[in-house]
Structure 1
């Protein structure tokens, strides 16, 4: 039997119940891939390829549900940022069937005991009611998110756990506590854990039963962890004093570090490759023991039936539905401002609409006035559809969490879809009711309660259909740029073939099928029938023997029979059900698009944030803290990730605000910013290129940075790049927050060597490090805490964290704060601070000639250069946009084929105007909506770089706008070159150039509007909602749907549109 993993074939290994196994590897990428592939193999994903016959407890994988029997704890933190930690874990406990316990956050009565226990072990109880947060919403720190990821999986009853780098962002003490708790669970409950750890401390390493050591896709050791040194000693490698046992075998695998551990004086040193070490393992007693264990068949008589999950889900369908429904209610409550804003927006747009076509201006007397009522009816339908379009960002932002929980069998796809579909019904009712109340009688539509409610019902049906349509597009596309593009494409098809822009009789034969399948055509027919067969429109027309209402309907190719209303409503509701079923099926069967195919917009952010909610507990970061950091030194500080990261935020950001309130001049604060730099743990660099700056730390020139977790540089290389971005500004003081988080021991040593080299150049560095190894800790010259010497053979980080806790102080009856304040070291530091606080006689205050290192022109050039490379290397945006424009041009040309040459009747002119109106509005809307995810992703980077003093807002904004111009010019060339001649406009050079100019200006201002609205709003979801209102208003005030009003104020409105 063998597991076939790409890019290696990994020999199989046995795993026993009641044991904890760590995975260590000299190459970080290998270990991450193998750990994730093992989780994939046990059913978390369908990407793995297997061969041979695979059994678990003697059972074939087809006889039970591996995904419920085991759990894969990923190193990627995917959570819904709007939920608190308690709510996230309560939901996981409820879906996984924590026995005899209630997920209290959803019942509002009491909390789950399992949730409380899982939060208490990793120290999450202090922030249980804090929002998890995202890159734009304030929440917990990155280390706390990592703990939430672990707790989400272990809160259930699963006994086989694959845990991938759960220690990232945690201090040594917390990691030791978690691993010890996992070990107790394994030994008492007969579970099995396979865990990948980075930089484990010796005391944490000793908690494991067996060790799996991987290198270059091969197992070089598998056996008792206490025997690993004996195995390597047999090969000639000896661990030196004060070297971590976990770090030693990893560095032996490294060509650069292996020679220093060679201790066989009888043989000259020659590099021992991984293949030879793997062969030596197979021939050793440990390898033979593994092989003999594999040959022993499993005894089913000893099988624990509770170890295998025989049902697909842990709880009943009804319980799953209740849990998902309760969570959806919480999310709607969190987004209540968004929904209230959207509702107020509907009222605002409706108010403008009704005042444009007041009943005092138009009267139901003839066909001319009837043609003024019809656009207002059509616009109501269009606005309902655009209102549904703004739901896309919310769905897309939740998809990563859905795929994770679906693949881990928390709930099926229908349990995710149905609650939101049910809860959107009241929202659609409110939207339709408000629009109807504001518009119906103010405009002067046909009086009568029955017709009013039928008007409202058709708007409700269109809104439900639009929500289902865009939900389906989101479930299939999965990416904001792609879904925005195809959402605009769907709107375009329905808009062109809906029966208003082009009457049914004038639609080309090859497009008539589009009219019959367009939901908007049925909505237009239904809402027009409701109005124009009313008694007031039944008087005889002066233009024939038919009624005025029938003439209006027939002139636009609309039916005149009353049953068309109910037929239209029925088709719209059928479309709504169809789209909702289709979206559920897409969520069920489609897997997440690989990250190297479609790059997400999420940016990893490990910042420590405060909660968006208030809660009783307050975390004291520091009291009366003074410190001095001497040049040419590197200092380490901190006890817990929350305090160290929060302390950095306090020092670097909040202290500026406090000093400003105390009257310190802003210029002096800017000076402090100019001489210092901060490196934060989240890798927020958006540079998609590496050029001269990388010479400072390594030879990774010309390597693409890519996006975290998907492409480009490795995590360790990103850390070094982020450090170099700050170093290139040549600051005198550098604050580094967790520069080694997420790195293995060898990679962390490389980063710290870079820090050491930085210090040697004369700079001062203060950094927080979680779980530093002995080597890393000894690269620091002093510790802020002033704790005495470290005992021989003990990991300094773990000892420091252990000895400095309040519990340990109470245990030994000592107060380290008091001891330090009475020490000579404290007095020396205070004296040094007093000395350095007084300027040298004859010296002048340090000042800079300009606020920024470069002038505005240079800032603009650099920002433009960066934006140009970023756009050029973003084909999922610009290529999709150009492709969409070309397809739209062909559609426009074929729908409006040669209508520009027909100018005999008013309807012919109306058709030509409809072609121009549609082209301007829909291509512009697509430009605006497609650019918003790109700008939203870049905005996170902009905030960091602006805070670092790299550039001012104006050069950045100017470069961001200018880089769009060439792509818009190409888009205009493609679109105008196709549509102008296919539609049949007058073939003169001047008019063709004017056509191109106006299209270019239209596409440009829509794109710039998309940039602006992202900058003005707090989230992409709110930007989409605000945009939908402006799109609707611009469509209505453009002069095509409604005539130019008499009032001066509305003349200004139409001019702005």
Structure 2
């Protein structure tokens, strides 16, 4: 419902919808809630005081004692060598938080600042009860919540304290609204559950009004959160992920924040919630949180990476952590004066948060004043800052507050609100049904997966029934083969769910940690949610196989056949779910699942009959669910009335085989029991396996967590450098490199030859249309006549509010839009830009840093250089361009470091470097500073500035830049919602042109002193999540009539911009791809080789599995008599299993290839390589393929005697007709003879 057209007073609040409740804004709503609720409660709203004293968090990590040599790459030989003859290791204690004390008070908004690795996330996780504790982690100190110790309320703590994670983990197929709705359903609220009991201390009218308001707010909470976070525009869009297009990164971050906003939380700990958001959106969201803290008395702590001065001003308190040390914790308005007293001064134009983050690092010398503070020297290390802070008045006041008894109203909150709160708001059955409904939605909304599975089932069913059409029941090998293959096919199909289970496990960890639901409810709903698809698969496959292959034509036996297949399918599905719960990652879960299938298949009783299995391995036969299913289905077939006879097909089985009926005889050939009770036993056993693994999955998910980062080996020298790095001054750092003789050495940059042509990018009257998802016949216009240009050597910023079309415009210019309709002109040096020209002369740095993690940084740059630079350029020049990239982006120290494990900032620089190595004339950057702290963002943009100064054209979208970063841009194209131009032009010195332009617009407030121009201009045009623009001013029309628009048109009219010029060449390319096929093949083979070779878990797992199975085959078949029917059948089965293994285990490579698949959109759009070449290099690049085959067959062949077996199989009937084992085959041959009407004579067994 649309908001009322006229303002409503507090007494006339609309309760019918979230829009009505939010009609006057968040602040008015919060005031109204506080006023009404506190009257009915008879007290203030529930509050929580969080205190921690002498808090320390330590972890024992492994340190490698080495000689300081270069770190080896994690290749297979190096991993094996380290396992046996590696360097000595010792365990050291890493201090994450170092004896810190503090208090977060209700009704206050606290900013938590810290460099990466400072311990801020660890502190928030500890205080919210989310830190994953392990044996090697120790937590010391006192933590209390309203005087209650953390240990006493740890189980219910998530109901009072919310934690917003840095990582955006969501179900990709759910929409934004559904994601928030489910979170609301799980969390509920105390008022909704105990409303009448709690709201009973006012008058009858006041109580009723408060209860109605509480019910309305609870009922419309998802809509209120959607509006507060600016997500209404995308509420019906799926969240998506890296493989599925959905909402933007900034919107996904807001969904992560909104998911934890439900329930009666008294405290919130929010970790880096502004990643991917523009500064205006961040300002609006923090303003809303400030309103919640002040008006609803909530305790809110927020960690931000790059808060602007205006955002910083919204906070009441600030806490600064560095290397686990507490450098400051107190009021925001006293922090600058405090550090001034230590001899540090924030320069004019420097963001206060950036200044605070630089203290205690190598950057702090920029702020040192000439006069040293008390003590005679400036503090340098975080510890020195922490020691000085402990002696300050601010810290003394805080300690006094820590020792002060709690306010009686806080103690009352414990008894009235905290004690009655259950661990979970929903009951077991209600929670399970909610999860079941969500699981059905997730599973069956993934239409490609569901249709693909059903299509595969149908095709394989048709293949089976056409191959074994109307089989002869006396051909026992065929019948048993069909039964066995049916079981194996359905069982192996369930293994494909393992990656899905692992992806969903991360979401479970987050939501279970927040007490959304019980682990038992999740496991039960997950398992039951697979039943409908399992039933469909069993019906389709089982019906085709049963009736077309001519199993016993009996309806009830058909039903039993389906039931056995179904429970077997479910049991195996639960086994794979258990593996995904107990295994650390896919590198372990996937091969273990494949090995388990193969072991179950081998011991199922078909390939190796029970009588052939060695006694000491027979237990594997009895625990294999496949053996029970095979036994049950075989008995179900051969104990039918038509087969439970003495005479069948002209053969009297009772007379020939000691009273055995035809069915009993054939069952005994495979050592299968004949009692029909085993059919029921098979069903019962499969159900028991299903239940047992459901319970084991519950225990694994409840008690095992793989959330903590893996412990990695740290060299002793590296650990020492980490400890003392912050003590270095620039002078000391230089001395360390050997410059101790007092000489001054100038490090001049190397001269690099330019292999690119400077290009001016221009675009005129650009329009972009896409179909309206609500009405496909209509078109939505996302870009409306955009004009602009970017010159060589300049950095042009594309900015605007959320939904303005920044990334869309850049994608259109860069030729990345494959759908929709584009009109207008895109020109390069005044010539119309062809699709090939754009792809060959431009580079595009995506927001997501996706790379081949097994390569080194230098190898990634070399790969890009050789495949994307023209073949006519010499190899020496290509290598030179790689070195240029390394120097420009400051990658010298880490150039030979493997990409896996690099920091976010290093990955971002590498992303830019990969595009730069192609020597493009134009580089597009999509939000290059997103997710970075202020220091890293400055490093990245300094690198971008250097790239532009080399003569390249840079076009860049950016969110919430600091003033220092914003000043690095030359020109700006500013868009408003709807894809219209608000400003284009040169920014001028310190953005003076931009500021003067907007200050001259009637009704626009002047730029406040110290305010960030980037934030100010977005606020002027109505950006942010409030979706409210300045309606009094048409900024688009104002720009069209301004001198800046005339300057833009004059610039476009110049030669070389929109008209050709002899001075600027046309970008013409003769080939679609720069490199020839041989170069592509060479580098792609090397990349895949490195990817496999440097993934030890993949290589070692395959080799170990090969050796294990080959030994298993050898042990089983070492004494097999191939002259018997069962022995011969087992030998053929061994050949089959060996072939199957060689095909199935390399499927594990899909995990390695998943990362390569993510690279395809980027490399494909840049025309880097032919897909045919890419497809052909995979097998060549697998270095473990040959050793794996040798390990399997080298151990298998001597035991099996397969060469002899092959010859024996070819002439099966003749030699055995006269052999002393002929009685085994007599019934088959008699039946065939009877069918042919002929007589066959046999020699007596005597």
Match of 2:24 in 1: none
The 3 A distance-change label for structure 1 pair 700 and 93 is farther
Match of 1:690 in 2: 857
1:339 Cα offset (Å): 2.7
Q: Secondary structure at the match of 2:327?
A: strand
CA distance in 2, matches of 1:701, 1:951: 30
The 3 A distance-change label for structure 1 pair 579 and 598 is farther
**Residues 510-521 of structure 1 correspond to what in structure 2 (within 5 A)?**
510-521=616-627
CA distance in 2, matches of 1:610, 1:19: 45
Q: Does the 8 Å contact 2:188/2:262 carry over to 1?
A: no
Match of 1:794 in 2: 1011
Q: Secondary structure at the match of 1:28?
A: coil
Q: Does the 8 Å contact 2:799/2:972 carry over to 1?
A: no
The 3 A distance-change label for structure 1 pair 182 and 611 is farther
Match of 1:1024 in 2: none
The 3 A distance-change label for structure 1 pair 419 and 843 is closer
Matched, 1:551 2:645: no
**Residues 169-184 of structure 1 correspond to what in structure 2 (within 5 A)?**
169-184=276-291
Match of 1:767 in 2: 956
Higher gyration radius (CA):
2
1:56 Cα offset (Å): 1.9
Match of 1:94 in 2: 185
CA distance in 1, matches of 2:1028, 2:788: 22
CA distance in 2, matches of 1:259, 1:567: 79
The 3 A distance-change label for structure 1 pair 856 and 660 is farther
The 3 A distance-change label for structure 1 pair 552 and 318 is closer
Match of 1:976 in 2: 1193
1:234 Cα offset (Å): 0.8
CA distance in 2, matches of 1:515, 1:35: 50
CA distance in 1, matches of 2:372, 2:823: 68
Q: Secondary structure at the match of 2:918?
A: coil
Q: 1:202-246 CA distances to partner (integer Å, 9 max, x unpaired)?
A: 111011111111222211111110111111111122222222221
1:323 Cα offset (Å): 1.9
**Pick from 795, 800, 808: which aligns with 1:646?**
808
1:777 Cα offset (Å): 1.0
**Pick from 5, 22, 29: which aligns with 2:117?**
29
**Pick from 1085, 1096, 1100: which aligns with 1:879?**
1100
Q: Secondary structure at the match of 2:129?
A: helix
The 3 A distance-change label for structure 1 pair 429 and 850 is closer
Q: Secondary structure at the match of 1:212?
A: strand
CA distance in 2, matches of 1:598, 1:323: 40
Matched, 1:587 2:701: yes
The 3 A distance-change label for structure 1 pair 577 and 618 is farther
Match of 1:578 in 2: 692
CA distance in 1, matches of 2:326, 2:620: 60
The 3 A distance-change label for structure 1 pair 615 and 503 is same
Tell which deviates more after alignment, 338-347 or 84-93: 338-347
**Pick from 16, 37, 45: which aligns with 2:131?**
45
Q: Does the 8 Å contact 2:843/2:924 carry over to 1?
A: yes
Q: 1:44-103 CA distances to partner (integer Å, 9 max, x unpaired)?
A: 13326322443221112233222222111111111110101100011111111146779x
Structure 2: state its 5+ residue gaps.
1-52, 59-93, 194-215, 714-768, 859-882, 974-982, 985-993, 1000-1006, 1208-1231, 1233-1246
Q: Secondary structure at the match of 1:395?
A: helix
1:732 Cα offset (Å): 1.4
Q: Secondary structure at the match of 2:139?
A: coil
The 3 A distance-change label for structure 1 pair 514 and 619 is same
1:775 Cα offset (Å): 0.7
The 3 A distance-change label for structure 1 pair 736 and 230 is same
Q: Secondary structure at the match of 2:328?
A: strand
**Residues 579-728 of structure 1 correspond to what in structure 2 (within 5 A)?**
579-592=693-706, 594-596=708-710, 614=774, 621-642=782-803, 643-654=805-816, 668-687=834-853, 688-691=855-858, 692=883, 693-702=885-894, 712-728=901-917
**Residues 305-324 of structure 1 correspond to what in structure 2 (within 5 A)?**
305=414, 308=418, 310-324=421-435
Q: Does the 8 Å contact 2:361/2:381 carry over to 1?
A: no
Q: Does the 8 Å contact 1:24/1:214 carry over to 2?
A: yes
Matched, 1:482 2:588: yes
The 3 A distance-change label for structure 1 pair 621 and 805 is farther
**Residues 56-135 of structure 1 correspond to what in structure 2 (within 5 A)?**
56-64=145-153, 65-98=156-189, 112-135=219-242
What value does the CA root-mean-square deviation take over the aligned residues?
3.2
**Pick from 1022, 1043, 1052: which aligns with 1:824?**
1043
Q: Secondary structure at the match of 1:564?
A: helix
**Pick from 941, 962, 967: which aligns with 1:752?**
941
Q: Secondary structure at the match of 1:536?
A: coil
Match of 1:734 in 2: 923
1:351 Cα offset (Å): 1.9
CA distance in 1, matches of 2:773, 2:1117: 55
Q: Does the 8 Å contact 1:146/1:166 carry over to 2?
A: yes
The 3 A distance-change label for structure 1 pair 611 and 560 is farther
The 3 A distance-change label for structure 1 pair 641 and 947 is farther
Q: Secondary structure at the match of 1:13?
A: strand
CA distance in 1, matches of 2:1175, 2:772: 29
Q: 1:381-438 CA distances to partner (integer Å, 9 max, x unpaired)?
A: 2222123223323322211101111111111112112223223333333333323322
The 3 A distance-change label for structure 1 pair 477 and 68 is same
Match of 2:1170 in 1: 952
CA distance in 2, matches of 1:888, 1:570: 30
Matched, 1:297 2:463: no
1:458 Cα offset (Å): 1.6
Match of 1:1053 in 2: none
CA distance in 1, matches of 2:770, 2:105: 43
Matched, 1:209 2:297: no
Q: 1:131-172 CA distances to partner (integer Å, 9 max, x unpaired)?
A: 000111110111111111111111222121111111111111
Q: Secondary structure at the match of 1:527?
A: helix
Q: Under a length normalisation based on structure 2, what TM-score does the superposition of the two structures give?
A: 0.73
CA distance in 2, matches of 1:15, 1:883: 53
Q: Does the 8 Å contact 1:259/1:271 carry over to 2?
A: no
1:28 Cα offset (Å): 2.5
Specify which structure has the higher proportion of helix: 1
Q: Does the 8 Å contact 2:836/2:1069 carry over to 1?
A: no
**Residues 344-359 of structure 1 correspond to what in structure 2 (within 5 A)?**
344-359=455-470
CA distance in 1, matches of 2:557, 2:182: 45
Q: Secondary structure at the match of 2:1158?
A: helix
Matched, 1:839 2:952: no
Q: Does the 8 Å contact 2:186/2:426 carry over to 1?
A: yes
CA distance in 2, matches of 1:168, 1:739: 11
Q: 1:900-956 CA distances to partner (integer Å, 9 max, x unpaired)?
A: xx432333322211111111113421222x112221222011221232343332343
Q: Does the 8 Å contact 1:101/1:113 carry over to 2?
A: no
CA distance in 1, matches of 2:464, 2:167: 47
Q: 1:632-672 CA distances to partner (integer Å, 9 max, x unpaired)?
A: 21121221354323332333235576799999999921112
Q: Secondary structure at the match of 1:565?
A: helix
1:312 Cα offset (Å): 0.9
Matched, 1:185 2:292: yes
Q: Does the 8 Å contact 1:478/1:593 carry over to 2?
A: no
The 3 A distance-change label for structure 1 pair 647 and 111 is farther
Q: Does the 8 Å contact 1:532/1:550 carry over to 2?
A: yes
